[in-house]
Amino acid sequence: MSDTSVIHVLNGPNLNLLGVREPEIYGRDTLADIERRCVTAAGDGAQIVFRQTNHEGVLVDWIQEAREKAQALILNPAAYGHTSVALHDALKTLTIPVLELHLSNPAAREAFRHHSYVSSAATGVIAGFGAAGYELAVQAALTQIRERA
């Protein structure tokens, strides 16, 4: 492992439309704004690898990549959190901290959003804090990395 920790921040479907898609729910920050927030939150404590895809299989590939290249994973699975056993199974292969992240609070929304396949494979969940949740997740990941060192 290198001296600098690596945190992978992976984002699922439709998050490329942040800032314009339902801003009353997801806020006005764009994904680029959120990436900047993550980098700032990490400071010199970690390198952030920030990605987004609309394709479930790509997320699985990136999760598998994190097994070898990251010291922590932050995942906003978006809708895939409620539907994807494949994401769950990929996450179960990790031995690094996994933080599940949601901009909104799924428990306060439609019933179909109340179940997450990701939660049972995650170290912890951050939900409902909008874009600030990413900063909280980076700080939590840094704490988890330090505690495991």
Residues recognised as catalytic: 26, 102
Contact 88, 120 (CB under 8 A): yes
26-50 in b/e form (b: 16+ CB < 10 A) is: bbebbbeebbebbeebbeebbebbb
Q: What is the rounded end-to-end Cα distance, in angstroms, of the chain?
A: 11
